[in-house]
Structure 1
Amino acid sequence: MSNTFTEGEAFAPQRSLFNALGFTKEEMRKPLVGIVSSYNEIVPGHMNIDKIVDAVKLGVAMAGGTPVVFPAIAVCDGIAMGHVGMKYSLVTRDLIADSTECMALAHQFDALVMVPNCDKNVPGLLMAAARVNVPTVFVSGGPMLAGRVKGCKTSLSSMFEAVGSYAAGKITKEELDEFENKTCPTCGSCSGMYTANSMNCLTEVLGMGLQGNGTIPAVYSERIRLAKHAGMKVMELLEKNIRPRDILTEKAFENALTVDMALGCSTNSMLHLPAIAHEAGVDLNLEKANEISKRTPNLCHLAPAGHTYIE
């Protein structure tokens, strides 16, 4: 796609704008790989994504591509709870899909690496990947480590429960403060099997993320290595012309639903998987989900259903 700009006198104006960006002719001749960064400083699951993006850029460059970063928005559902902000969360999914499609096609990227993490950001970028349909790899920001209060592991749902316990007179203000200060100890998506971690695991099952995409903690150096491999892998997909709609098949979605049921993923997956499937030209309905649910045992009780965490 980007060779539209690199050949012929008619596109000299476009190349002049690449010159303004500081691109060399050598960089312009290489495949142009868009890295969709959802980094921001208001969402704990996204505050480390700048480091992930830097690693992806290195991977792309090592494999012979020219990496270019552009942004995607992301809302923290936890921070948005309890006020008007919650009305703005779900709608961002489609806004993310639309705006990423616009950026990818307007600038004719040859391939994409998506770097999401939280609830609506992951499905929005999966929808965009299916729409744009250039070779694409996902690498998420990774899950937060669990907190620890009085020797017990905790996550954000523990914090909400502590607020209720305090209101009911079951714990003291000092105990509530301890939950507040120790429940969310690191960057990353909230440490239970909430929507973000569910969708990051399902991205891996769908075949759009490398092994470990859903489970390597945000603070582990292993995630930086994963990001470098994601950058290299997208160049391999580009060389082989393997595109999202080649990967996002009906069977892939059936696999995702099977793992969804086995892991006990967030019920929000049934908001998002059908929307992603629709963009990929696959019909995924509740009847199919019920059919798979009936034959698939639930193997995990991760928080908030249990006291086990992704770490």
Structure 2
Amino acid sequence: MSDKVDLRKYSSQVVDGVERAPGRSMLRAVGFTDEDFKKPQIGIASTWAMVTPCNMHIDKLAIEAEKGANAAGAKGVIFNTITISDGIANGTEGMKYSLVSREVIADSIEVVAGCEGFDGLVTVGGCDKNMPGCLIGMARLNRPSIFVYGGTIRPGAGHTDIISVFEAVGQNARGDINEIQVKQIEEVAIPGPGSCGGMYTANTMASAIEALGMSLPGSSSQDAVGSDKASDSFRAGQQVMELLKLDLKPRDIMTRKAFENAIRVVIALAGSTNAVLHLLAMAHAVDVELTLDDFVELGKVSPVVADLRPSGKYMMSELVAIGGIQPLMKRMLAAGMLHGDVLTVTGKTLAENLENVPDYPEGQDVILPFDQPVKKDSHLVVLRGNLSPTGAVAKITGKEGLRFEGTARVYHGEEGALAGILNGEVKAGDVIVIRYEGPKGGPGMREMLSPTSAVMGKGLGKDVALITDGRFSGGSHGFVVGHITPEAFEGGPIALIEDGDRITIDAETRQIMVDVSDAELAERKTRWVRPESKYKRGVLAKYAKTVSSASEGAVTDKYL
């Protein structure tokens, strides 16, 4: 650290002067020395927990980040925030807390760093909501910050992962495999630490954040265990000191152009629909204007080139083995698909970061050429129509077809739909309608991974569609439409659909329509009664009162 420049913009409030002696005394008790009081403090936000393999190793990564900060002349201070496990909670009442956890993580990082006066931040996340939660927290504080991804899990035996287990349940219901075979898959699918192994939400968001410029190059494409991830964490701790010297903050990096880069990389990778929700929320945190229409416009000129699960063949570890997303981004930059002049946490531009990146090895088919894409335009399709006037988000790679017309089979909630799929009530030609699962109505906007996996396991993936005001796991695939707005709890058209109504979903015209006249929908609306929420206290009740529409990112601080 330069003797001429004091980098302590916030921590000095608690360590300078006689009147700050109580603060020094508190810090001395946790290991500070006299020399440490002269250094900038770097908060290391760890999402470590033993509730999920995605985060079980992050305590070690946080320690590496602390070492890096200390080696660079700062004083690292580790603190914890929460995580939950979607994989464990999916299909249960507990899943209502999942999206809520994004807000709790953001709030807690803001609260701790703001209160303690950290000069900079490193945040380390592993599971789906950790990443946008960390970014939102850092963005609100706007102090020099870097995100570190915990890394991807390695494949289970037989090239299995968590989605293999979910789909095995449906295969069992169909009679294709027995309970012993389900148990055999369940026992081997998750071999150790790391986030779910396909281009599901965790790997999608890690890739988006790297494309956004808020993590070090390569951070999104590393195995959870190994020297690369430990080194990534150490270097992140070091680099925050450089960001302090440059006075380079999240709002300098998370610009409109950077979000456009993130969206286009997510599309190229066939990423999760949750990226739409989270990128809207992250943009809101830095006052960048971003809407569903931006996904539409960018999607028209952005091909899908990754053959990755859930709709493709390969896992994230196989993308890691050929070089991760950096060669893809270099190809995209050369093709004019990315803005190369945006700043990143390296202190350099994206173009400078990519300058010496080698291309993928010959013969690989994980990432396809732009002239031979999986799909010539985006798989993230924003739909509007009389069923969703303010927008819905579909994940359609083209493998499911581009148009579906069928008969509504309506369920109030996920549990009823799952039972209907598994017991044979759902038939080919049905459009499964799952409502009252939106941000307010759930509350919490649960993922419909159990129903979509059951559909695939039952062999109905090409024969039925599923629509919901809830959302989907990054592992969901099939002809599925989520984020339908306005949601049922707000009296949106999805609340008025009846069994037997004809529904048309057209990815090419970007329409979602129910074959019911405006007059009939208006008449049904007069008979509609909003169901009473059973949550009167606690975090779910508070969330339901404050959360915005999914079309606005389901944020909880949109007051003006």
Per the shorter chain, which TM-score range? Answer: over 0.9
- Residue 225 of structure 2 aligns with which residue? 219
Structure 2 Cα separation of the partners of residues 60 and 234 of structure 1 = 7
Moved more, 88-97 or 245-254: 88-97
Describe the superposition over 1:173-202 as per-residue Cα deviations: whole angstroms up to 9, x where unpaired. Answer: 332222111111121000011111111111
Structure 2 Cα separation of the partners of residues 77 and 46 of structure 1 = 12
Deviation at 1:214, TM superposition (A): 1.2
Match of 1:53 among 59, 62, 78: 62
- Residue 303 of structure 2 aligns with which residue? 297
- Residue 11 of structure 1 aligns with which residue? 20
Letter in 1 for 2:309: A
- Residue 174 of structure 1 aligns with which residue? 180
Structure 2 Cα separation of the partners of residues 301 and 292 of structure 1 = 20
Deviation at 1:20, TM superposition (A): 2.3
- Residue 288 of structure 2 aligns with which residue? 282
- Residue 108 of structure 1 aligns with which residue? 117
8 Å contact 1:155–1:303 — kept in the other structure? no
Superposed, 1:132-211 pairs within 5 Å as 132-149=141-158, 153-211=159-217
Describe the superposition over 1:128-185 as per-residue Cα deviations: whole angstroms up to 9, x where unpaired. Answer: 1110010001111101011122xxx122111111111112110133322221111111
Structure 2 Cα separation of the partners of residues 98 and 42 of structure 1 = 20
Match of 2:97 among 88, 99, 107: 88
SS of residue paired to 1:35: strand
Structure with higher strand content: 2
Structure 2 Cα separation of the partners of residues 285 and 154 of structure 1 = 36
- Residue 259 of structure 2 aligns with which residue? 253
Structure 2 Cα separation of the partners of residues 22 and 66 of structure 1 = 10
Letter in 1 for 2:68: G
Describe the superposition over 1:236-290 as per-residue Cα deviations: whole angstroms up to 9, x where unpaired. Answer: 1111110000000000000000101111110001110011001111011010111
8 Å contact 1:143–1:216 — kept in the other structure? yes
Structure 2 Cα separation of the partners of residues 9 and 297 of structure 1 = 61
Q: Which has the larger radius of gyration?
A: 2
Query: Alpha carbon RMSD of aligned pairs, Å?
Result: 1.0
Match of 2:276 among 263, 270, 275: 270
SS of residue paired to 1:242: coil
Structure 2 Cα separation of the partners of residues 21 and 52 of structure 1 = 20
Structure 2 Cα separation of the partners of residues 96 and 132 of structure 1 = 13
Letter in 1 for 2:72: A
Structure 2 Cα separation of the partners of residues 93 and 5 of structure 1 = 29
- Residue 330 of structure 2 aligns with which residue? none
SS of residue paired to 2:146: strand
Deviation at 1:301, TM superposition (A): 2.6
8 Å contact 1:135–1:243 — kept in the other structure? yes
Describe the superposition over 1:30-68 as per-residue Cα deviations: whole angstroms up to 9, x where unpaired. Answer: 110000000001111000001111111111111111000
Structure with bigger RCO (C-alpha 8 Å, 6+ apart): 1
Deviation at 1:24, TM superposition (A): 0.6
SS of residue paired to 1:109: coil
- Residue 503 of structure 2 aligns with which residue? none
What's the TM-score, normalizing by structure 2?
Answer: 0.54
Q: Gaps spanning 5+ residues in structure 2: where?
A: 1-9, 318-560
Letter in 1 for 2:184: E
Structure 2 Cα separation of the partners of residues 22 and 208 of structure 1 = 30
What's the TM-score, normalizing by structure 1?
Answer: 0.97
Structure 1 Cα separation of the partners of residues 121 and 251 of structure 2 = 14
8 Å contact 1:36–1:71 — kept in the other structure? yes
Structure with higher helix content: 1
Match of 1:37 among 34, 46, 61: 46
Match of 1:25 among 30, 34, 44: 34
SS of residue paired to 2:131: helix
Q: Gaps spanning 5+ residues in structure 1: where?
A: none
Match of 1:74 among 72, 76, 83: 83
Deviation at 1:6, TM superposition (A): 2.4
Letter in 2 for 1:187: P
Letter in 2 for 1:245: R
Match of 1:129 among 122, 127, 138: 138
Instruction: State whether structure 2 residue 72 is matched by structure 1 residue 63.
Output: yes
SS of residue paired to 1:147: coil
Letter in 2 for 1:206: L
Letter in 2 for 1:172: N
SS of residue paired to 2:313: coil
Letter in 2 for 1:289: F
Describe the superposition over 1:61-119 as per-residue Cα deviations: whole angstroms up to 9, x where unpaired. Answer: 11111000111101110101121111111111111111110111101000000001111
8 Å contact 1:144–1:186 — kept in the other structure? yes
SS of residue paired to 1:112: strand
Structure 2 Cα separation of the partners of residues 272 and 200 of structure 1 = 12
- Deviation >4 Å, runs of 4+: none
Structure 1 Cα separation of the partners of residues 306 and 60 of structure 2 = 31
- Residue 522 of structure 2 aligns with which residue? none
Letter in 1 for 2:67: L
Percent identity reads 44
8 Å contact 1:34–1:112 — kept in the other structure? yes
Letter in 2 for 1:263: L
